[in-house]
Amino acid sequence: MIRRVTDYVLSHTTRTSFFLLLFIAFLILFTHARFSGASGNGYDGELQNERTPLTEIFFTDYLALPVTIQRGQTVPINFAVRNIEGRDLDYAYVVYLVTTSGHRIDVARGSVAVPNKGEVVVQTSYTFKSNSLPVTFFVELPTRGKRISAAVPVPLPIPS
């Protein structure tokens, strides 16, 4: 009887000790990986903003874009570039129009420096040389692969 009790106590103690040691080993490995940066997320003991780097481009006042076009009309083509890339950047830009026949009309080209978490507005315009020319305005950041557009349709004739 004493032998059975001794075997039971030893086997129970051995199993408990084994699982306790396994748990402690796991805890040590997890803690080491988490605080040594081996987890792959660059944890440095502080909370980090885990946003994906991003560049935003948009027309600042899309309502200012015309519904129809008249000869001699100057149209503002103003746009903003917002930098959320994590560092200051210079953005090359191209502004152009494309007619429905595929003719491209260059309006402006340049570069703008935008600080990280900043926004810069670029103001440009175009004066049309003919009436009612259907066009699409394009603003492109060629090095970033970003482009926005706005179409100006041909005005429909007013029924009599």
Q: Which DSSP state fits 117?
A: T
Low-confidence ranges of the chain (pLDDT < 70): 1, 3-12, 15, 17-23, 26-27, 30-51, 131-133, 154-160
Number of domains into which the chain is organized: 2
Residues 8, 23 within the same domain: yes
Residue 124 carries which side chain, given as an amino acid letter? T
158: in domain = no
Q: 67: closest CA among 75, 59, 79?
A: 75
What pLDDT is stored for residue 46 in this prediction?
Answer: 47
Structural domain span for residue 32: 1-48
**Is 0.75 surpassed by the pTM of this model?**
no
Q: What is the pLDDT of residue 149?
A: 92
Q: What phi, psi does 81 have (nearest 5°)?
A: -120, 125
pLDDT of residue 35: 61
Whole-angstrom distance, CA of residue 48 vs CA of residue 45: 9
H helix intervals, the chain: 2-35
Residues 132, 77: one domain?
yes
